[in-house]
Chain A
Amino acid sequence: MQSLTPLLLVITGLAVAGYFIAKSRAMKVAGGDIRTLVSLPRQHALNTVLSTSVPALAAILLISLYLRLTGGQGSWFFGFVVIGLAVTGFATSLIGIKQDRRARTLAERWILGLLIFASTIAIMTTVGIVFSMLFETYNFFGQYDWRNFFFSTTWSPNFRGNSDLGILPLLWGTLYISFIALAFAVPIGLFAAIYLSEYAGPRMRSVAKPAIEVLAGIPTIVYGLFALFIVGPALRDYFAEPMGLGQSASSVMTAGLVMGIMLIPFVSSLSDDIINAVPQSMRDGSLGLGATKSETIRQVVIPAALPGVIGAVLLAASRAIGETMIVVLGAGAAARLSLNPFEAMTTVTVKIVSQLTGDTDFASPETLVAFALGLTLFVITLGLNVFALFIVRRYREQYE
């Protein structure tokens, strides 16, 4: 790290010097009359700055990556390569300054390269996610039988070894909580969207729509706190204990309800867009035949919007499955397979957090299992997202 600073300083120095030298050289070549130049002096200057710095910086990036991968040490040789590149770019661009040199085109080629590089960062992120998790998951399955991971119904990690790391109870908790959240959020979100787009006047819309969207802007930790201290104890005192269903404040119900509140704006704003995309002529036709407004909505608008609404629900489901803070604080940590919604259960995300926080030993299956859980989560949510986006896109095209 320390060895990088002088290199960067040299490159910056060369680039700054190049800027001024190129400018004055261009003026000299022009003989004082810049109208004889094809490109302006500052474009020559910009070209020099970019040809000095961009290749050298790219080399630094590649060399650091190479050294990390091979575990090698930085050496003078690499320093010379970097400085050499910078000096070459500096010299060739300065020597090349002539009256008819198209410096603007040259400089813009460098800029375009930078833009392309920036746009590949999104791809690199995905590649990074997939590879980092694949690599550690591979290590995990080297130590732990994959059949036990996918088909065992017990989860009891034990840091002295001999753990049972079955994903099924975690998946069950995840799906159960997501199901409750969706059962709460989908009807409410959908009805809210229908009301806002079909019935509400502009006044009502201007109040209710932003208010519902505020729910979407609240960080999940706030919902988690709300579940842990307010909803959980309330559900326990007023429902679970009187009905004899359990004494736990953190439960599937707590996490599911709070997550449902979080998902309302998600479902409602997506459905709102979709309902608005249904052409007015279809409504007019139905109303013209004498149907009431609600009949029109139920029998014309909703069936027409159904694929889009399903897409929205799937996106909400992927949100619910990947949600972490609400379940960490509201659902509990006990992995069990049970139908009682007032019992504490746990999810994939909770276990990722608990296996990866605190003292972690990256050689033990108890830590590595988190990567396998992460990969499973990633695959499930990615599948849902791709499928949902595909449906939504198909649907949009239908009415365009």
Chain B
Amino acid sequence: MTTSLLTTDARTKKRNAAEKRFKAYGLGAICIAMVSLVFLLGSVLSSGLGAFQQTYIALDVQLPEARLDKSGTRDLEVMSKVTTIGYAPILRDALVAQVAALGLTTDLSDKDVGKMISKEAAATVRNRVLANPELVGTTVRFDLLASGRIDGYFKGRVTAESAALDQNTSPEALVLAQELKDAGVIETKFNWNFFVLPDASDQRPEAAGLGVAILGSLYMMAVVLCLALPIGVASSIYLEEFAPRNRWTDLIEVNISNLAAVPSIVFGILGLAIFINFMELNQSSPLVGGLVLTLMTLPTIIISTRAALKSVPPSIRDAALGVGASKMQSVFHHVLPLAAPGILTGTIIGLAQALGETAPLLLIGMVAFVREYPAAYTSESGLFGEAATALPVQVYNWTQRSDPAFFERAFAAVITLLVFLLIMNAVAIYLRRKFERRW
């Protein structure tokens, strides 16, 4: 049987079809990866952006002397005896008065109206009054946090149906909230407090913020930078420039590439056993967290520093040696400055990894509930010794709470974390582009 070259036979058709199919598989794989990325980022953004807005109630609050300062002397010691429980009814009365003044009618009891205000609001007002006792006896305008349910209503998380099943709010309260919003008493604004306030207890998600977590992460990054960079650079210089090729240096090299692949949780066990149990450093302190993350980031920094040192051509070293520099001088005066951009890029990427790491921090006790801003140095607990949390651990903490308002905040914390990582990586890429040298 003879066939023309111009007509494609069945076998060629089959082969061409197989070729097309194969190409489509490849394209499909890339599409799946891209879709996953878009879906991941999209769902994080859509679930978390809400927490950057927060609902506030603007109220004129009378601060009656009879209830807040019985002695009339503005003596702080006497005034601080009035707890937040004493302040809550004042705020409730102010809101009830406001509702009446606007001519709104509601079936809610005064107590239920009071529930629209966050439990945190009383503490806010109390702190303001104690900071400035002259406010007592006057009427002051406060922007008070609305309760988590009211806040959720304006973000679409709480509906009339869900409110009917909820002990903490009711459909009537939502109607009233809507009316107050129309009257301009309730408003939703950008939530700066989210980045400043510490974590809050289970009943007041509306007041929970990332302040302590950001501070803790910052301290840990400082520890990592101060330890991992010099140690990493020093060991890379030794391995790349000075080390003789022998069993010992081979062992170190194999060891470093293996350490880079050890599961991060193992570093947490190491931190627990060595830094906390053996060295008796403080649990949940940024110092221990920083040390653990330092050991984790070291391999990354060493690997990238060695690559940067390797890319400096030997002629630079030879030239320095030729004019009488010692080997050490040629490295520190010439090779190291030329390798600096590469080292810096690697360090920033290592820091970004450390910033997002969660598992080892869980084991060294950073899951604790911390309300106090940790100080960088105190005489009792030393440098970075006070309890703190970290950004990714805060995310984990919020997923373990029962109120769904915390889940929104967890996503918002993740967005914050991703923004930090984005900035760090952008800086690294910029540095690489700007200072990269081809020899």
Contacts and interface: CB of A to CB of B under 8 A. Distances in A.
Please say whether chains A and B are actual partners in one complex: yes
B32 A214 contact: no
Contacts of B407: 229
Contacts of A68: 278-279
B234 A381 contact: no
B28 interface: yes
Contact of A220 (B243, B356, B421): B356
Contacts of B259: 122, 125-126
B255 A126 contact: yes
A324 B29 CA distance: 26
B363 A353 contact: yes
B7 interface: no
B106 interface: no
Q: Which 8 A-B pairs have the closest CB atoms?
A: A322-B263, A219-B356, A195-B26, A132-B273, A118-B234, A191-B29, A119-B235, A294-B22
A222 B44 contact: yes
B263 A349 contact: yes
Contacts of B328: 108, 111-112
B30 A226 contact: no
Contact of B23 (A104, A111, A120, A195): A195
A388 to B, nearest CB: 8
A283 to B, nearest CB: 15
Given A189-B29, A194-B26, A218-B418, A119 B265 contact: no
Interface stretch (B108-116, B206-214, B309-317, B392-400): B392-400
B27 interface: yes
A125 B295 contact: yes
B36 A122 contact: no
Interface residues of A, number: 89
B419 to A, nearest CB: 12
A377 interface: yes
Interface in B293-344: 295, 298-299, 302, 326-329
B352 A217 contact: yes
Interface in B184-242: 230-232, 234-235, 237-239, 242
A322 B362 contact: no
Interface stretch (B81-89, B91-99, B153-161, B409-417): B409-417
B10 interface: no
Given A322-B262, A325-B358, A208 B19 contact: no
A222 B26 CA distance: 27
Interface string B402-438: 0000010011001001100100010000000000000
Interface string A364-378: 000000110010011
B168 interface: no
9 contacts: A128-B273, A132-B269, A135-B273, A188-B33, A192-B26, A208-B34, A215-B40, A225-B411, A353-B362
A125 B326 contact: no
A356 B270 contact: no
Contacts of B33: 188-189, 192, 208, 211-212, 215, 261, 264-265, 268
A211 B29 contact: no
B80 interface: no
Given A108-B328, A123-B252, A189-B33, 11 more contacts: A115-B234, A115-B237, A122-B259, A125-B270, A132-B269, A191-B25, A192-B26, A208-B30, A297-B22, A324-B264, A381-B266
Interface of A: 1, 68, 104-105, 108, 111-112, 114-116, 118-123, 125-126, 128-129, 132-133, 135-136, 187-192, 194-196, 198-199, 208, 211-212, 214-215, 217-226, 228-230, 261, 264-265, 268, 292-295, 297-298, 315, 318-319, 321-325, 328-329, 349, 352-353, 356-357, 362, 370-371, 374, 377-378, 381-382, 385-386, 389
Contact of B18 (A128, A214, A292): A292
Given A119-B252, A377-B266, A378-B262, A225 B410 contact: yes
A43 to B, nearest CB: 10
Given A112-B328, A353-B363, A374 B261 contact: no
Contacts of A297: 22
Contact of A356 (B243, B363, B410): B363
B47 interface: yes
A300 to B, nearest CB: 14
Interface in B240-270: 242-243, 251-252, 254-259, 261-270
B43 interface: yes
B125 interface: no
Contact of A222 (B235, B239, B269, B414): B414
A69 to B, nearest CB: 9
Contacts of A218: 40, 356, 418, 421
Contacts of A362: 277
A132 B363 CA distance: 14
Given A115-B238, A219-B417, A225-B411, A264 B36 contact: yes
A362 B16 CA distance: 66
B358 A217 contact: no
| A115, A195, A381, most chain B CB atoms within 10 A | A115
Contacts of B265: 322, 324, 349, 352-353, 374, 377
| B270, B298, B418, most chain A CB atoms within 10 A | B270
Nearest to A293: B19
A280 B259 CA distance: 34
Interface of A is mostly: helix
Nearest to A228: B399
A329 B399 contact: yes
B43 A226 contact: yes
B137 to A, nearest CB: 48
A261 B36 contact: yes
A105 B36 contact: no
A249 B18 CA distance: 39
B268 to A, nearest CB: 8
A221 B27 contact: no
B270 to A, nearest CB: 5
Contact of A119 (B29, B239, B411): B239
B37 A221 contact: no
B279 to A, nearest CB: 7
B144 interface: no
B274 A221 contact: no
Contacts of B36: 215, 261, 264
A225 B399 contact: yes
A217 B34 contact: no
A374 B266 contact: yes
B362 A219 contact: no
B237 to A, nearest CB: 6
B380 to A, nearest CB: 10
B375 interface: no
A133 B261 contact: no
Given A226-B44, A381-B263, A382-B258, A371 B395 contact: no
B64 interface: no
A107 to B, nearest CB: 8
Contact of B231 (A118, A192, A377): A118
A315 B258 CA distance: 11
A239 B177 CA distance: 39
Contacts of A370: 269
Given A225-B399, A322-B266, A122 B34 contact: no
A129 B352 contact: no
A121 B15 contact: no
Contact of B359 (A114, A222, A324): A324
A60 to B, nearest CB: 14
Contact of B367 (A118, A215, A357, A378): A357
